[in-house]
Structure 1
Amino acid sequence: MGKRYLGGSGEALVGWITVATCTVLAFYGYDQGVFGGVIVGDDFLAQFGYPDSHTTATMTSIYNIGCFVGALSTMVTGDKLGRPRALMVGTVWITVGAIVQSCATTRAHMFAGRVVAGLGTGMNTSTAGIYQSETVKSQDRGKLVILQMANCIMGFALSNWMTLGLSYVRGSASWRFPLAFQLVFALVIFAVCPFLPESPRLLIRRGNKTEAMDVLVKLAGRDRSSDDPEIVATYESILAVVRTEQDNPTSWLDLVRGRGPPGMLRRVVLGAGMQAMNQLSGINVTSYYFSYILIHAVGTSEELSRYLAAAGAMDYLLFALMSWHTIERYGRRRVMMVSSAGVCACFVAISALLAMSETGDAQKLGIAAVAFFFLFFAFFGSGCLGVPWLYPTEINATQVRTKATAISTATNWAVNYMCVEITPVGIDRLSWRFWVIWAAISASFVPVTYLFYPETANRTLEDIDLFFAERPPVCVHRLAEATQIARPARYAEWEAERAARTEKGVAQSVWRAASSGSAKAAAHAEHAEC
């Protein structure tokens, strides 16, 4: 029977894993939006001495320093703690940080709370994507990670509407309550994670093969068993990769030097580069500071800026949900390129409109600029949002997936910090020219993705290991297997052959044991082969 988990087995069990990972991302999105909503409120500004643009930027961005350190910490603690336990440890940090922020009376208190909450968020965001990717079928992996990101935007939307509503409340409750509300997300994670299974891939790496097989069976569904050919094929594929990594262990020095599995350093760079693109698309310029941008760059009132920020969050959420249907159908490469091109076009238009507003009809041109900010959310949510979070969990080698994903997530937070730190000062000093920078950067993502990034949609994690084992060229745009959306036929054939060999081996072992007249020996032989 094995252990019992929340939801039992099959889709219900996968659903509860998704609840845990989506809650992590919902909190991340909530925190993105909530601070942008409170830093423009009168009571908050009075409490902290009406900080200038530089202090505001640092108070906001210091959170990302905590996230950076928290993400890097999972390189050491991630595999030791395991996926569910790592999420709970990260949530402890978030809980402490949320309490400190909501009770802050000085800038020092707020800085400390932001850093502590960031430590937990970095740990959790580095773990959630891996956990989801390692516990779902390859054809569902993209959709469920995209669902995580849609929940991120749901949290973002919730924070914008909450700060809008509480802006009409007098006193410190207008900003303390939204910051304290972070505890709700923590309670969900504490309630769910203790009752979820460990990643079967991590269990096999630890030598817990019986438990790993039990988890694979439960993830597959109630009507499945350990001798099911599909489950056996999955188990054997994972086991083959784990045996290879155990025969060729990879140290930290190997990771830095690029030694180890074929293409390891290249795969780490690809994952980290995709995460950098996520931030350099300009999303946290707008998500953290949308109300601030509307007030200081477009010239709206505080009240109108809050309404527009809340409406923009719903626009963002709508298109993030729509990417559920495109991420597998059109693949990671195509979705990322189209999204990046759209983001670039929006920033070009925003730059032009804000430049013209300095000498033209500021009100009408400002309205048009706001429309392009809304269109930016649509383009970003449809691709640049989800693909960079999904890609590192897929592209990296199994034996270094935790370390490599931690590096990728830390890269995201480091670039995030830079973007959030420079935005208020950039708006104040560069005016419309500030948006030209983001247009140029996002334009570069189209050729970079086209030339260097292989497709990962509809591949198992082991398929990707096989692809890099053949040492493909750096520029992959001319390789059919690297760019096609459908799973390459030979990978499916390889998996089927392995399953057939395994099934035949089990049958022969059981027959030999049964021939000796021992039913107990036959049962033992079957279990040993599996």
Structure 2
Amino acid sequence: MKLAFGLRGNKLTAGHVSTVIIPAYICFGYLNAVSSGIVGRESWVTQFPQLDTVNTTGAVKSENSRIEGTVVALFNLGCLFSAIGCIFVGDILGRKRTFMLGLVITIIGSILQSTAFTMAHLIVGRLVTGLGFGAVTATGPNWQSETTAPGLRGFVVMLQSAFLAIGLALAGWLEYGLAFTESSVVWRLPLAFPAFLCLVSLIFAPFWPESPRWLIKAGRIDEAREIIAVLIDEPTDSDQVIRQIEEVEQSLQETGEGSFKDIFRNGPSRFGHRALIAIATQMAQQICGQNAITFYQSTIFQEFLGMTGDMPLLMSAVLYSWKILISPFGALTVDKAGRRKLLIPSFVGMGICMAVMGGCISQKNNKAASDTAVAFIFIYVFFYVTGCIGLTYLYCSEIAPLAVRTQITGMSTASSWTFNFLVVEVTPDGFSSLGWKYFIVYAAINLVLLVPMVYFFFPETRGLHLEGIDNIFLESKNIWHPVRAARKLRTDLLLHGQTGQVEDDDKKQEAAIFQTIINIINPSNHSKEASSRSNMPFLTNFALPGSAQQLDVPEHSDAALFLVFVSSKDPATRQPWCPDVRAAWPTITETFSGEDSPRLGVVEVGQKPEWRDPQNIYRAHWKVNCVPALVRYQRVRGEVVETGRLVEGEILNQEKLRKFIGSSR
């Protein structure tokens, strides 16, 4: 079987997401929600009377609430231990094999839970399930982000929040559908279902490529070269493939190879600083209050809002479905608005919603107040899904440098599960002892702690290459600098007129992933598109022959081949390092992108040190002494010769450019 079933580029990304990431993240959402609908069922408390908080009162209920919180939270504790384990084994096994190992262990844990007849059996099952899925959550975002283009990275990773929401809804509706029976199937089937989802992901995972960045770090350069070529749909010897490998190797040289102990100190690359940001990011996702709602929303609807019968289960299912409807909003805006502009308003919104919910719940037997509380639960979920549910995993994988990416994402995921465990553990006691005031605690956490934390300490990473993000921290001297360093980088792009171009690139890449899905459904559409592309005269990464005489210029006298010599892209900004090239590039692309335009070959002259070398091949053999340089080649008496050139600002003169190109037609 061919690697990735023979798919390349955006088709490969679509295939990987569809067959591996979708089922895994549906399972993620499902596992977070499944406990909510079964902890109060009659067959559940009959099988496990120590967890009965429905038919007990007083001290017995308090003790059972404590035990229930612990048993439910054991899944999170297992995830915590597993995430810590990934710090040490993740770089040994690689992204893909660690991910697959986690799926296998999760399947075993699901089987143990669903077949439990004693409390000890159930405890072991929940702990094993957590041990498995912790590895999936610690490794999946890295694997995905390291095999996705920068402009598409946020979109694809944030799209996972939609899959997570589907898992939440699936759990809710399955449990509501089982509400009309009281046999043990009402909890055994929901606890067994994750094994099926993990099995689907496990079957397809071996066919998709390993992270090329991990392969380069492991010294397996040839394998990395093959995979990068497949991911960007270029030949293995293309300039783009070579450049990406060089950038990763350069990043490793600048940041070092890295080890676990390195994340506890700074150095020039500020590993410790970046680890703290990643840990704080995942902490924020858990202490904003969402898990108090997700794990115990049936309890909220029943005990605080007075719903009876099957209505709490129905409302839970509807709330989960609401998450599906709103999840695309974050995916479609994260690479346009940026990370900070989603995180800050989300924490503000969640804080306000928690305050309103607490105030309304305090009004007992007030129907209007209860309805308002329900409405603000839905509004709260909108803020959480839009700016938090998937963005935190994306941000942590971006902040972490390659040298210690496994260690930092492992620590950040461990942070996530630590605070997840804490919230799930204390929430039953919080509800029973604090009542409506428990919601005010989360309002204060969001508004007083999380909003200032993001504003002052979290730099913007939108659209930057993973290796380019390193420069933000290389230029920072203390914890206050990264936000300003990232802002300065954006300002530089704006001054050179590149901000719009970056955003346009993001739009094109998002459109490409949707177009890929359409092409899979409608092959005839792809054939037309491919035919259209084959007629395009714009030749990127043009390979120069030994001399002008070897250029492929047609025999007839009015034919011409144009070459534009430009600076290579800066690894940090992913834009040409020469400002004149950046200024001229929109004009060049507009002029030569039409189907009737003459052929144009794009030649990159290298990075600044290479270009300044007097022996640079383009200076010595092609007589190019400045960039950009647009050169025209035609046949004169049977020989290929240069018949004209425009350089630097001359290219921006529209009239001169039209005459220059028109004279060849």
Query: Is TM more than 0.5 here?
Result: yes
Shift of 1:501: 2.8
Change (3 A) 1:139 1:45: same
Change (3 A) 1:377 1:487: farther
1:28 alignment partner in structure 2: 28
Change (3 A) 1:148 1:156: same
2:209 alignment partner in structure 1: 197
Q: Aligned match of 2:382 in 366, 371, 378?
A: 378
Q: 2 CA distance for matches of 1:162 and 1:213?
A: 45
Q: Is the 8 A contact 1:331 1:455 kept in 2?
A: yes
Give CA-to-partner distance per residue, 1:397-434, whole Å, 9 cap, x none.
Answer: 11000000000000000000000011111111111100
Change (3 A) 1:338 1:285: same
2:248 alignment partner in structure 1: 238
1:37 alignment partner in structure 2: 37
> How many positions carry a matched residue from both structures?
501
Q: Aligned match of 2:341 in 334, 340, 351?
A: 334
1:459 is the counterpart of 2:458 = no
Q: Aligned match of 1:226 in 211, 232, 236?
A: 236
**Greater Cα shift, 339-348 or 205-214:** 205-214
Change (3 A) 1:486 1:92: farther
Q: Is the 8 A contact 2:464 2:574 kept in 1?
A: no
1:120 is the counterpart of 2:120 = no
1:53 is the counterpart of 2:62 = no
Give CA-to-partner distance per residue, 1:338-383, whole Å, 9 cap, x none.
Answer: 111110110010111111x23xx43332121111111111111110
Change (3 A) 1:209 1:409: same
Shift of 1:487: 8.6
Q: Is the 8 A contact 1:395 1:464 kept in 2?
A: yes
2:3 alignment partner in structure 1: 4
Q: Is the 8 A contact 1:166 1:174 kept in 2?
A: yes
Give CA-to-partner distance per residue, 1:424-477, whole Å, 9 cap, x none.
Answer: 111111111000000000112112111111001110111111221112542248
**Greater Cα shift, 391-400 or 311-320:** 311-320
Q: Aligned match of 1:254 in 262, 270, 276?
A: 262
For structure 1, the 5+ residue unaligned runs are 513-530
Write the letter of the residue equivalent to 1:274. T
Write the letter of the residue equivalent to 1:482. R
Q: Aligned match of 1:285 in 279, 292, 298?
A: 292
Q: Aligned match of 2:222 in 202, 210, 216?
A: 210
Give CA-to-partner distance per residue, 1:12-58, whole Å, 9 cap, x none.
Answer: 21123223233222211101111111112111111111532112111
1:68 is the counterpart of 2:80 = yes
Give CA-to-partner distance per residue, 1:89-129, whole Å, 9 cap, x none.
Answer: 10111011000110011111111100000001100000000
Shift of 1:176: 0.6
1:447 alignment partner in structure 2: 452
Q: Is the 8 A contact 2:95 2:143 kept in 1?
A: yes
Give CA-to-partner distance per residue, 1:470-508, whole Å, 9 cap, x none.
Answer: 125422487263377689466336776897438999x96
Shift of 1:237: 0.8
Change (3 A) 1:11 1:251: closer
Write the letter of the residue equivalent to 1:180. A
1:138 alignment partner in structure 2: 150
**Greater Cα shift, 12-21 or 494-503:** 494-503
2:183 alignment partner in structure 1: 171
Q: 2 CA distance for matches of 1:325 and 1:487?
A: 25
Change (3 A) 1:399 1:346: same
2:160 alignment partner in structure 1: 148
Q: Aligned match of 2:372 in 368, 373, 376?
A: 368
Q: 2 CA distance for matches of 1:492 and 1:231?
A: 17
For structure 2, the 5+ residue unaligned runs are 53-63, 499-569, 579-602, 622-665
Q: 1 CA distance for matches of 2:381 and 2:91?
A: 35
Q: Is the 8 A contact 1:320 1:385 kept in 2?
A: no
User: SS of the residue aligned with 1:36?
Assistant: coil
Q: Is the 8 A contact 1:455 1:485 kept in 2?
A: no
Shift of 1:302: 4.1
Give CA-to-partner distance per residue, 1:200-243, whole Å, 9 cap, x none.
Answer: 1011111111111110110012xx21343333322221121123
Write the letter of the residue equivalent to 2:346. S
TM-score under structure 1 length normalisation: 0.89
Q: Aligned match of 1:82 in 94, 107, 115?
A: 94
1:479 alignment partner in structure 2: 484
User: SS of the residue aligned with 1:457?
Assistant: coil
User: SS of the residue aligned with 1:38?
Assistant: coil
Larger RCO, structure (CA 8 Å, separation 6 or more): 1
Write the letter of the residue equivalent to 2:290. I
Change (3 A) 1:47 1:478: closer
Q: 1 CA distance for matches of 2:574 and 2:378?
A: 46
TM-score under structure 2 length normalisation: 0.72
2:573 alignment partner in structure 1: 492
Write the letter of the residue equivalent to 2:12. L
Give CA-to-partner distance per residue, 1:253-311, whole Å, 9 cap, x none.
Answer: 3322x145521100000011000000011111111111112112222114110111011
Q: 2 CA distance for matches of 1:382 and 1:22?
A: 18
Q: 2 CA distance for matches of 1:478 and 1:160?
A: 40
User: SS of the residue aligned with 2:205?
Assistant: helix
Write the letter of the residue equivalent to 1:280. I
Which structure has the highest strand share of the two?
A: 2
Change (3 A) 1:368 1:170: same
Which structure has the highest helix share of the two?
A: 1
Change (3 A) 1:374 1:44: same
Shift of 1:6: 3.2
Q: 1 CA distance for matches of 2:80 and 2:409?
A: 12
Q: 2 CA distance for matches of 1:109 and 1:25?
A: 26
Write the letter of the residue equivalent to 1:251. S
Greater Cα radius of gyration, structure 1 or 2: 2
Shift of 1:4: 2.3
Shift of 1:249: 3.9
2:17 alignment partner in structure 1: 18
Write the letter of the residue equivalent to 1:18. V
Change (3 A) 1:478 1:110: closer
Q: 2 CA distance for matches of 1:92 and 1:487?
A: 48
Q: 2 CA distance for matches of 1:483 and 1:375?
A: 35
**Greater Cα shift, 415-424 or 493-502:** 493-502
User: SS of the residue aligned with 1:492?
Assistant: coil
Q: Is the 8 A contact 1:70 1:123 kept in 2?
A: yes
% of aligned pairs identical? 30
User: SS of the residue aligned with 1:328?
Assistant: helix
Q: Is the 8 A contact 1:200 1:213 kept in 2?
A: yes
Where in structure 2 are the equivalents of 1:278-357 lying within 5 Å? 278-355=285-362, 357=363
Q: 2 CA distance for matches of 1:416 and 1:12?
A: 36
**Greater Cα shift, 323-332 or 224-233:** 224-233
Q: Is the 8 A contact 2:472 2:485 kept in 1?
A: no
Q: Is the 8 A contact 1:280 1:441 kept in 2?
A: yes
User: SS of the residue aligned with 1:197?
Assistant: coil
Give CA-to-partner distance per residue, 1:41-97, whole Å, 9 cap, x none.
Answer: 111111111532112111111111100001111111111111111111101110110
Q: 1 CA distance for matches of 2:427 and 2:86?
A: 29
